[in-house]
Chains A and B, each alone.
Chain A
């Protein structure tokens, strides 16, 4: 089946969509990506808000547009950008153990708060475990075993996609969409927003996800940088937030 990519130009993203980026997916691959990013896939994403809980507590997210802006910053300037770059690197390195191990170590090192590290590695470990069981692949299982407790979700996802022969662009878009949708879900519960308003946020984030994917694909690991220190600070403050429903 074919899915057209959305071409979006943002100040910080280089648009690199070309005809070769048009995604042609086998049905089996498409189903696999739907499963991996479904809220039913048991990685525990529902327990992470990536700082939204603290931002709401501080009155920063009063409505749907503010939530959209927050998630946009996460995707373009925060962990979403790091994850996108690392997912691509892991996908590219699948099949070269030394290169893939280096990507895994580096991606783990990029988590600068305890809760961001927990969020990435707990989901990464769970993803690796259920994926290795459901779609057995000896190479992926060996990789996951080498990085137990230190495997980020994005690297586990990218490596699994690479080993399975899934094209990179659709895997990247699916991961970023799943990441964003999970934050929308947290925002719906915390802001709070109605379910329909939540879906409006998800719809508004479509072009942002495409731009975040473009930006990730255009950025090498050497040039990787974030540009939203407030996100790390909200995560730090969340550690001592008085009432917490979420683990990040």
Chain B
């Protein structure tokens, strides 16, 4: 039997969180995904921690999260640690996130980085629908290897796709597909160990463009009215530090929330 024919039990986790102006209105979860709700600090909205109790994802695993904020609801969703993607025997690990932000609602979706072990195969798709007057501050980052222990991600594939709809219309589509050839191509990844993205969908996103440029050394743009994108590319520690600096600044400037990181990012 070839290695790729081996049958393994695969995880299929699911979490669905619905929030209204008064708090949680519906919660569904299926292992290995869990949602925990740490007590918010003063001035903070509802906080949810998306936890993968399996500790990581292997090829063939699938997790799906859905976050729905109705009219006027407020929430922050984060993760307690980096998501680990183990070497795959063949199939991809699938991560799906779908967000809905209603009128006047504000969601922060701030997961920590995903770490690709050598040989990992990832297919991550994120979809967000933001209604008029709604706000979304989101981040996503990917570390190409267990850098701290000197292991590069040489084998495997990673695909990260985004679809953002503003006011019911597709506003931004993006997908990055990486493999060894992409890693080595000139003017493509620039030798980076990690890459990251932050986006702010907000009716007044344009007002924060200069701040975003200051935070990133000019790696920010307003491709459409109401959408600000920041990109990070470089050493793993620099990408993480850049995102850790941008989160407090942008949540404070754009959402009027405390200029702090979610506590789970630092403990």
Complex CA–CA separation, A228 to B192 (angstroms): 11
Q: Are B172 and A236 in contact (CB under 8 A)?
A: no
Interface SS of chain B: helix, strand, loop or mixed? strand
Within 8 Å CB of A12, what residues of B?
A: 181
Within 8 Å CB of A229, what residues of B?
A: 176, 188-189, 192, 195, 231, 233
Task: Given the known inter-chain contacts A55-B187, A236-B220, please indicate yes or no for A113 contacting B229, CB distance below 8 A.
Answer: yes
Q: Are A228 and B231 in contact (CB under 8 A)?
A: no
Q: Are B187 and A112 in contact (CB under 8 A)?
A: no
A35 interface residue (CB < 8 Å to B): no
Q: A110 contacts which of B173, B221, B222, B233 (Cβ < 8 Å)? A: B173
Q: Are A237 and B218 in contact (CB under 8 A)?
A: yes
Q: Binary interface profile of A, 62-105, with partner B (CB < 8 Å = 1, else 0)?
A: 00001001101100110000000000000000000000000001
Q: A-B pairs with CB below 8 Å: how many?
A: 101
Task: Given the known inter-chain contacts A117-B224, A227-B177, A230-B189, please indicate yes or no for A109 contacting B231, CB distance below 8 A.
Answer: no
Q: B185 contacts which of A66, A109, A228, A240 (Cβ < 8 Å)? A: A228
Within 8 Å CB of B216, what residues of A?
A: 236
Complex CA–CA separation, A81 to B122 (angstroms): 22
Q: Are A228 and B223 in contact (CB under 8 A)?
A: no
Q: Are B221 and A239 in contact (CB under 8 A)?
A: yes
Within 8 Å CB of A232, what residues of B?
A: 231
Within A98-144, the residues touching B (CB, 8 Å) are: 105-106, 109-117
Q: Binary interface profile of B, 57-98, with partner A (CB < 8 Å = 1, else 0)?
A: 000000000000000000000000000000000000000000
Q: Are B176 and A113 in contact (CB under 8 A)?
A: no
Q: Are B170 and A227 in contact (CB under 8 A)?
A: no
Q: B219 contacts which of A11, A109, A233 (Cβ < 8 Å)? A: A233
Q: Are B189 and A117 in contact (CB under 8 A)?
A: no
Within 8 Å CB of A115, what residues of B?
A: 221
Band of interface residues on B: 35 or more
Q: B188 contacts which of A105, A109, A114, A230 (Cβ < 8 Å)? A: A230
Tell me the minimal C-beta distance from B1 to chain A in angstroms. 30
How many chain A residues touch the partner (CB < 8 A)?
37
Task: Given the known inter-chain contacts A105-B170, A106-B173, please indicate yes or no for A227 contacting B185, CB distance below 8 A.
Answer: yes
Within B76-126, the residues touching A (CB, 8 Å) are: none
A203 interface residue (CB < 8 Å to B): no
B263 interface residue (CB < 8 Å to A): no
Q: Are B161 and A225 in contact (CB under 8 A)?
A: yes
Tell me the minimal C-beta distance from B155 to chain A in angstroms. 15
Q: Which of B174, B221, B224 has most A Cβ within 10 Å?
A: B221
Within 8 Å CB of A155, what residues of B?
A: none
Q: Are A114 and B223 in contact (CB under 8 A)?
A: yes
Tell me the minimal C-beta distance from B194 to chain A in angstroms. 11
B146 interface residue (CB < 8 Å to A): no
Within 8 Å CB of B231, what residues of A?
A: 229, 232-233, 236
Q: Are B182 and A227 in contact (CB under 8 A)?
A: yes
Additional A-B contact list (8), CB under 8 Å, known A106-B170, A226-B174, A226-B177: A109-B172, A109-B173, A111-B223, A117-B223, A225-B176, A227-B182, A229-B195, A233-B233
**Chain B residues packing against A (C-beta within 8 Å):** 159, 161, 169-179, 181-182, 185-190, 192, 195, 213, 216-224, 229, 231, 233
| A-B CB proximity, top 6 nearest | A225-B177, A225-B175, A227-B182, A228-B188, A109-B173, A113-B221
* A-B pairs with beta carbons under 8 Å apart, 30 shown: A60-B187, A69-B187, A70-B187, A72-B186, A73-B187, A109-B173, A110-B174, A112-B174, A113-B223, A117-B223, A224-B175, A226-B177, A227-B179, A228-B187, A228-B188, A228-B189, A229-B188, A230-B187, A230-B190, A231-B188, A233-B219, A233-B231, A233-B233, A235-B221, A236-B219, A236-B220, A236-B221, A239-B218, A239-B221, A240-B213
